[in-house]
A and B are shown apart, each in its own frame.
Chain A
Amino acid sequence: MFSFPAFAQKYQFSGKVLERGTDIPVEFATIVMPDKELWAVANAKGEFVISGVSQGRTKVEISCLGYAPTTFEIEITKDLKGVTYYLSIDDLTLESAVVTARENTNSATTSRQIDRTALEHMQMVNISDISSLLPGGVSANSGKLTSSTDAFQIRSDETAISSFGTAVELDGVRLSNNAAYSAVSGVSTRNIASSNVESIEIITGVPSVEHGDMTNGVVRINTRKGKSPWMVTAMTSPNTKQLSLSKGFDLGSKGGVINASAERTTSVHDLASPFTTYQRNAFSLIYSNSFDVFGQPLRFSTGVSGNVGGYDRSADPDSFMETYEKVKENTIRGNFSLNWLLNKSWITNIELTGSVVYSDNLTSISENKSSSSSTSSLHGMEEGYFVSTPYASDPNAEVTLRPAGYWYEVSYRDNKPIDYNLHLKINWAHNFRGVVNKLKLGAHFTSSGNLGEGLYYEDLSKAPDWRPYPYKDIPFVNNLAAYAEENVTIPIGTTSLNLVGGVRSEWTMINNSGYGTVSSLSPRFNAKYSIIKYRRSRILRELSVRGSWGVAVKLPSVSILYPTPSYYGKQVFAPGTMADGTAFYAYYILPRQIEYNPDLKWQRAQQSEIGVEADIAGVKISLAAFYSKTLDSYFTYSEYEPFTYKWTDQRNLEGCPIPSSDRLYSIDRQTGVVTVKDITGNVADQTLAYSEKNTFTSKTKVTNEVSPTIRKGIEWVIDFGQIPSIRTSIRMDGTLYKYRSINENIVQAYQTNRTMSDGITPYQFIGYYVGSSSGTSNGSESLKLRNNITFTTHIPKARLIFTLRLEGSLYRHDRNLAEYSGGQIAWPMSGQEKTPSGTEFYDIKGHVVKYPLYYSTFEEPNIQIPFLEEYLWAKENNKRLFSELDAMINKTGYTYTYLKNVFSPYFSANISVTKEIGRIASLSFYANNFFYSTMRFKQSASETDVSLFESSSYIPKFYYGLTLRLKIQ
């Protein structure tokens, strides 16, 4: 903490903001001094006043919706009053128009901003499409919204779970999947209006400690806020149509501004059968104003936004009659923000934000079903043996019987996640002898829960196995975080050093569970040394280096903490099917209790990064090397326990003197003994004989992976600047990315549908494997080198901007891994035999086998027998055991599984053009993969050619679109 003299001199900075060329005052222009955390909002005359400005050099940023922002530095040595600043209308007549991601050079971590011009030029329909503008990004292959697998993935592209760690904020409102009962992946962005976005900031490096609940970067989406004319946007592409309307209403005489927007986007999945659709009807209403409170400005904003729409696969006439799948994606987001510039010696700003996000994600599915025999549905939630009972006889029976015939099965999955956020942040900024010192303290409370009913059926008599599990009964997960961050900028001669250090502590309270309260700590540090500040006359015009290290924690979702309970259901009685197709099966039901893991740790990432920014003779270079270690990833596994049940079937009924039509079956809930009663009363009750079967039951647990996942890489952006004669600038961006993950958790596996070598006895062994019980690998690694080149021709006089972007995969290799710190787990095979032959298998063509480390038996479940040793012994001494153990061995399907799979280079090209027609209209056109590439590339391991034309996962499909924007004053 820096001390400061109480008598420090303060000055006033005031002036006027006008529109360049017309001298019209720019009301609501925001004037910010970021070094001092001071700000003001211009009044109707464009006038602003910032009082209490300390002496020294400081940066000033002026911005307003519809205008190009401007940044400059001023030296405050006395009151600075009456200066006029001009803002230019943000259009293509400006030389500074940018249609790529801009590096945020002020930040000590890697951060990029994508502005409206770039967003409009790109014509995204889904906000996550802008990931392609990151270094080495790949153009999205959608152009449509019918796929739900859309989420931001930052510095990772392996699995959906890595997107779970990326935080997405919309106007400061955190969008989260924590409360949703769905796959553990990043939040879907397809229900966010894409036409009303003003800018997007993507922090890929180590972020400030004010950001929590994330491990893979932060995406901050800002919508239009401020006075604006009517804006009408109409977009068309083969699969998607969009129409939007927005305006910023000036309420006059300090009444503030209301921004209203509405957007309708419809997307069809397949042009040939346009019956699978996604509809987005998004809206937003945001009020913002600033007031003087006790003589100090207070900026207030409140808003509501949302979407009514969803996915619909109901009307396709190719589907049978009443079958459909509909997914509602209705959401409403409410938020407020108060930012009070107190500008006291002990406090500069206080900011309070709050939000509520509520979604109604109801999935309804209607399926046509039929069966020529009766079927049983298990609904019992308690342990015991139960016989099927017709639903009409007992709707509450543990096992109900559905008669043979035709029916519709209509299911609903009612998911209503709700997230609350309250965030208090206090800033204190001080400048002491040139040292800029900013302290940030904050507290952040979040609460996530679900108000949905969970899965249920329209008609229980036609439902399959089902038990109620209302999500609304699950406790909310509350999280309280407190953080402190110090940001110091020290001038050292002509250079300056910026140091940022902070720590975030979280307490997660999980009521009514074995977890209790879990705490975590996230320290983060950033440093940036600006060695050379901008000098136009030199070759090396600008140079800065930076480094970061930090820990980030991802909170678990409710579906991880409270997984849907599962039930073991084993058929134990199988009488012959009667003439009408009815069979009164009986089942043993065993609830599998949720196994709380008191040792569960929150998934976290240790991130570090170093970067260099330089301007060499006008060529701007940005390099960043990153290293991210994900620790304690969430991992679900099963454990098995021996289980014996009684089995009775038609063989035990063959001597039964009671005619089939007169039988009433009952089964003892505890013992499983079946009794047949004669409903006519003529024959005495018959107790059936049975046989006992030994098998295993499983229970699912959640734990953490014991081995880290490593992601590292280098990113570069080289902006060669514009060649004036052809008004064309060239930008190169790329990434070298390496991924490596090994899972060393010991997992159990049981061969459910196998028998011992007698062909009758259920399998009696449990195998203990490293990482995974299926396949032979327990990890993978990859290395990818991607480079993109963007040519941008900008002719301000013609109000035209044209972009040609070449995207290239220059090198890629993938490789499966089978490794364990405790010893070898996989071996090369000797011919057809599954016995080891040598030890080396990487980069050698041939089959590989993986053995369990050890196995246990039904009789002695707690004795772990070393597998390989026993297997080799059995080969020579016990052929029967040898063939039984053989079933636990996993073998590679291909001889090239452990070869390094190198992909030969492949490329694609996109074009985009935007043309403004005066100030009232603009027209954009894009064509992705406009060469319609039919190129083939080779995968070395399988020695196969892959056609880019036939495979859509490498380059985007040929796709195009056109957007018309109108501004109506």
Chain B
Amino acid sequence: MRMKKFISFLMCSVLLIAAVSCDKEDPYKLYDVKVKLQYSDPGFSPIAGVSVIAVNINTGMYYVGTTDDAGIAIVPVVAGLYEFSATETRAMDATAFSFNGFKQQVAITHDYEKEPFVVDIAMVGSEAKQVIIKELYSGGCQKDDGSGHFQNDKYVVLYNNSPVDADLKNLCFAMTIQYNSHATNADVIDGKLTYENEGVVLAGNGYWTWAEGHAPVLKPGEEVVVAINGAINHTLTYGLSVDLSKGDYYAMYDPESGYNQAASYPTPSEAIPTSHYLKAYKYGRGTGWPLSVTGPAFFIFMTPDGVTPQSFFEDTSNENYYNNISAMVRKWVPAEWVVDAMEVFSAGYVGKNNKRLITAVDGGSVVLTHRQGHSIYRNVNKEATEAIPENKGKLVYGYALGTSDLEEGSTDPSDIDAEASIKMGARIVFMDTNNSGNDFHQRKEAALRSK
């Protein structure tokens, strides 16, 4: 009797749950969202075959569609809040052009079928540049004694991605304020940067450039390592760190500028010539150049004829304050001055990271898990690299230092191990679509550790 009562109760419960469930929408139902890529640059029209990616900002799941001849893609997604992006590269008159488009905070509800709409993405064009950021290592690593992390070993590698020599005169290194991607960003209103359409990026706190008369000239495939902090051999103390003491490296070191914090700026290794010391132009507060450890927006720019890094510094009319906070000074840098840029998002903040670079400069983002010795490394342009006849037999495949096995990790889809191939004498052509999502991946280990 007791068992009968129990079974009856169980059945009623199941029916009740089923009845209630019938009223709810299926959370896994896919809606075919129509996305249209809009090209405003004269002479460019939509093409077929461009991938459109929709990332659910709550779950991190992503969905892909492909455009037709009219630039329209159907992306099947479940209901949710999305970031849509698209990127493509095309050659025209022997010049590579990249187009990037990005749209944040797009809500797809269960009513989409009843009230469908088209997601328009403005595609912004940009030319590929000679010099690119090959690698940025800013996240630090774990200390040997388990007492925490070490982060004064940041470096950046610039690379001549073109077939002709690249003169880096007047090239400057800069970063944005807001410093951290996951922090609340006063520049973002309704999911959009307030300066998105103003054709500028913002160089926060200060910028660095080469010592007068000592800018390097890079041959095709040549690179230059710049220590952002501590141009010394950190591996003697921190086994998981890097050796930044080598004589051909450059160092951001200019204590007279006001960037003189002892922990961040020990004197560079005596092996590094003083002509390799970079000059800082500081207009913000503090004693260190505060490149984000968690998620920087880093860029290099080159002042045009008639403007020098010095004259750009002296001009106070280009100053601006983040959120009107007087301590957070930044300078407007015209987007056309930008040589390369990278937008790094902090891992663990899906849906909370904010872009700080305008689409014309960088249309995507790459995720970094900091404090683990990971770096952000450039992806190889497989097609272009394999097309160089001299590379035959020198390319090493089976790249194993990607981090796609880690949460929010990524890898180089080309499968080419760039560093191993360079050692074999290959000239690598890296991706340069001005979209960090396409161009970079998170490398398990900073490349300088194996040099």
List residues of chain A with CB under 8 Å of any chain B CB.
320-321, 368, 370-373, 375, 404-406, 571, 574-581, 583, 585, 649-651, 653-654, 660, 693, 752-755, 757-760, 762, 832, 847, 879-880, 882-883, 886, 890-895
Residues of A within 8 A of B268 (CB): 576-577, 650
Question: What residues of chain A lie closer than 8 Å to B256, measured between beta carbons?
Answer: 693, 755, 760, 762
A-side contacts of B279, CB under 8 Å: 759
- Tell me if B237 and A576 are in contact (CB < 8 A): no
B45 interface residue per 8 A CB criterion: no
A581 pairs with B273, CB closer than 8 A:
no
Q: How near does chain B come to A139, taking the closest CB pair, in angstroms?
A: 32
B216 at the interface (CB under 8 A from A): no
Q: Are B270 and A578 in contact (CB under 8 A)?
A: yes
Determine if B320 is an interface residue (Cβ-Cβ < 8 Å). Answer: yes
- Chain B residues with Cβ below 8 Å from A649 are 267, 274
Task: Report B-chain residues with C-beta under 8 Å of the C-beta of A757.
Answer: 313-314
Question: In the complex the two chains form, what is the Cα distance from A722 to B428 in whole Å?
Answer: 91
Stretch at the interface among B139-147, B374-382, B389-397: B139-147
Residue contact B257 to A759, C-beta cutoff 8 Å? yes
Bound form: Cα–Cα A132–B172 in Å: 59
Establish whether residues A879 and B236, one from each chain, have CB atoms under 8 Å apart when the complex forms: no
Q: Establish whether residues B287 and A580, one from each chain, have CB atoms under 8 Å apart when the complex forms.
A: no
**Would you list which residues of chain B between 56 and 111 have a CB under 8 Å from chain A?**
none
Cα A405 to Cα B245 in complex, Å, equals 17
Number of A-B pairs, beta carbon distance below 8 Å: 137
Q: A650-B274, A753-B260, A755-B256 are in contact. Are A404 and B269 (CB under 8 A)?
A: no
Residue of B nearest to A368 (CB): B147
Residues of B within 8 A of A406 (CB): 143-145, 147, 237
Check B200 for interface membership: any CB of A closer than 8 A: no
With A576-B269, A754-B282 in contact, do A370 and B258 touch (Cβ < 8 Å)?
Answer: no
| A753-B286 in contact (CB<8A) | yes
Interface size for chain B: under 10, 10 to 19, 20 to 34, or 35 or more residues?
35 or more
7 smallest CB-CB distances across A and B, nearest first, come from: A576-B270, A753-B258, A373-B266, A372-B237, A372-B234, A891-B326, A893-B325
Taking the closest CB of chain B, its distance from the CB of A772, in whole angstroms, is: 14
Q: Is the CB of A893 within 8 A of B324?
A: yes
Instruction: Please name all residues of chain A whose beta carbon is closer than 8 Å to the beta carbon of B232 when the two chains form the complex.
Output: 372-373, 577, 581
Do A571 and B255 touch (CB < 8 A)? Answer: yes
**Complex interface: chain A residues within 8 A of B406 (CB):** none
Contacts of A895 in B (CB 8 A): 324
CA distance A956 to B274 in the complex (A): 59
Q: Let me know if B337 is at the binding interface, CB within 8 A.
A: no
Q: How far is the CA of A406 from the CA of B314 in the complex (A)?
A: 42
**Interface mask (B313-357 → A, CB under 8 Å = 1, otherwise 0):** 111100111011111000000000000000000000000000000
Q: In whole angstroms, how far apart are the Cα atoms of A832 and B329 in the complex?
A: 12
User: Are B273 and A375 interface neighbours, CB within 8 A?
Assistant: no
Interface status of B402 (Cβ within 8 A of chain A) = no
Contact indicator per residue, chain B 276-308, by CB within 8 Å of chain A (1) or not (0): 000111100111000000000000000000000
B234 CB to nearest A CB, Å: 4
B241 touches A372 (CB 8 A): yes
User: A372-B150, A581-B232 are contacts. A759–B316 as well, Cβ < 8 Å?
Assistant: no
Complex Cα distance A806/B316, Å? 55
Question: Which of B287, B314, B324 is the one whose CB lies under 8 Å from A847?
Answer: B324
Contact B314 A583 (CB under 8 A): no
Q: Are B270 and A370 in contact (CB under 8 A)?
A: no
Given A574-B267, A893-B326, A895-B324: A372 in contact with B230 (beta carbons within 8 A): yes
Q: Which of B221-258 contact A (CB under 8 A)?
A: 230-234, 236-238, 241, 245, 255-258
Q: Mark B105-138, 1 if CB is under 8 A from A, else 0.
A: 0000000000000000000000000000000000
Cβ–Cβ contact A577 & B258, under 8 A = no
Contact of B237 among A404, A650, A755, A762 (CB under 8 A): A404
The reply on B272 being an interface residue by CB < 8 A is yes
A-B contact pairs, 15 of them (CB 8 A): A372-B232, A372-B266, A404-B237, A406-B145, A406-B237, A576-B272, A651-B274, A753-B259, A753-B285, A755-B256, A758-B310, A759-B279, A759-B281, A847-B324, A891-B321
B148 within 8 A of A: yes
List chain B residues, Cβ under 8 A from A371.
Answer: 237, 263
A321 touches B326 (CB 8 A): no
Could you tell me the distance between the alpha carbons of A868 and B279 in the complex, rounded to whole angstroms?
32
Chain A residues, CB < 8 A from B315: 883
With contacts A372-B236, A755-B258 known, is A660 near B287, CB below 8 A?
no
A654 touches B273 (CB 8 A): yes
CA separation between A883 and B272, bound complex, in Å?
Answer: 34
Q: Is B324's CB under 8 angstroms from A370's CB?
A: no
Q: Contacts A578-B270, A883-B316 hold; do A320 and B146 have CB atoms under 8 A apart? A: yes
A579 touches B316 (CB 8 A): no
Q: Give the residues in chain B near A847, CB-CB below 8 Å.
A: 324
* Cross-chain contact of A320 among B148, B153, B319 (Cβ < 8 A): B148
Cβ of B150 and Cβ of A370 under 8 Å apart?
Answer: yes
- The complex places the Cα of A890 from the Cα of B325 at a distance, in Å, of 11
B233: which A residues are within 8 A, CB to CB?
A: 372, 579, 581
Cα distance A223–B337 in the bound complex, in angstroms? 76
Partner of B262, one of A375, A405, A893: A375
A585 proximity list for chain B (CB < 8 A)? 267
Interface centre among A371, A405, A583, A886 (most CB of B within 10 A): A371
B326 contacts A890, CB within 8 Å? yes
The interface residues of chain A lying within 8 Å CB-to-CB of B269 are 576-579
Alpha-carbon gap, A585 to B232, bound state (A): 15
Q: Which of A370, A575, A577 meets B245, CB within 8 Å?
A: A577
Separation of A571 and B310 alpha carbons in the complex (Å): 26
C-beta contact mask, B201-236 vs A, less than 8 Å → 1, else 0?
000000000000000000000000000001111101
In contact, B147 and A320 (Cβ under 8 angstroms): yes
Q: Using Cβ atoms and an 8 Å threshold, which residues of chain B touch A883? A: 314-316
Q: In the docked arrangement, what's the CA distance between A583 and B314, Å?
A: 34
Which residues of A are found within 8 Å of B282, using beta-carbon distances?
753-755, 759
Instruction: Answer whether A372 and B238 are a contact pair too, CB < 8 Å, given A577-B267, A757-B314.
Output: yes
Inter-chain contacts of A405 with B (CB < 8 A): 237
Distance (whole angstroms) from the CB of A372 to the closest CB of chain B: 4
Residue in A320, A579, A583 whose CB lies within 8 Å of B266: A583
How many Å lie between the Cα of A371 and that of B144 in the bound state? 12
Q: How far is the CB of B153 from chain A (nearest CB, A)?
A: 8
Partner of A579 from the list B245, B287, B324 (CB cut-off 8 Å) is B245
Known interface pairs A372-B233, A583-B267, A755-B282; A832-B274 also in contact (CB < 8 Å): no
On whether the beta carbons of A577 and B266 are closer than 8 Å, the reply is yes
- Neighbouring B residues of A762 by C-beta, 8 Å: 256
Provide the residues of chain A in CB contact with B324, threshold 8 Å.
847, 892-895
How many Å from the CB of B243 to the closest CB on chain A? Answer: 10
Neighbouring A residues of B148 by C-beta, 8 Å: 320, 368
Known: A650-B268, A753-B260. 5 other contacts (CB 8 A): A372-B232, A373-B232, A578-B269, A649-B267, A832-B319
Closest to B328 in A: A893
Q: What residues on B are CB-neighbors of A759 within 8 Å?
A: 257, 279-282, 310, 313
Chain B residue contacts of A654, Cβ below 8 A: 273-274
User: In the complex, what residues of B have CB within 8 A of residue A693's CB?
Assistant: 256
* Closest chain A residue, CB of each to CB of B238: A372
- For B327, the chain A residues whose CB sits under 8 A away are 893
Closest to A652 in B: B274
Complex Cα–Cα for A290 and B271 (A): 86
Please name all residues of chain B whose beta carbon is closer than 8 Å to the beta carbon of A894 when the two chains form the complex: 324-325
Q: Within the complex, what minimum Cβ distance (angstroms) separates B356 from chain A?
A: 20
Shortest distance in angstroms between B271's beta carbon and chain A's nearest beta carbon?
Answer: 8
Contact A370 B237, beta carbon cutoff 8 Å:
yes
Question: For the complex, what is the distance from the CA of A879 to the CA of B314, rounded to whole Å?
Answer: 8
Find out whether the CB atom of B147 lies under 8 angstroms from the CB atom of A880. no
CA–CA, A611 and B405, complex, Å: 76
Q: Are A581 and B267 interface neighbours, CB within 8 A?
A: no
Bound-state Cα–Cα, A895 to B325, Å? 10
Is A650 within 8 A of B313, CB to CB? Answer: no
* Alpha-carbon gap, A654 to B263, bound state (A): 24
Closest B residue to A762 by CB, please name it: B256
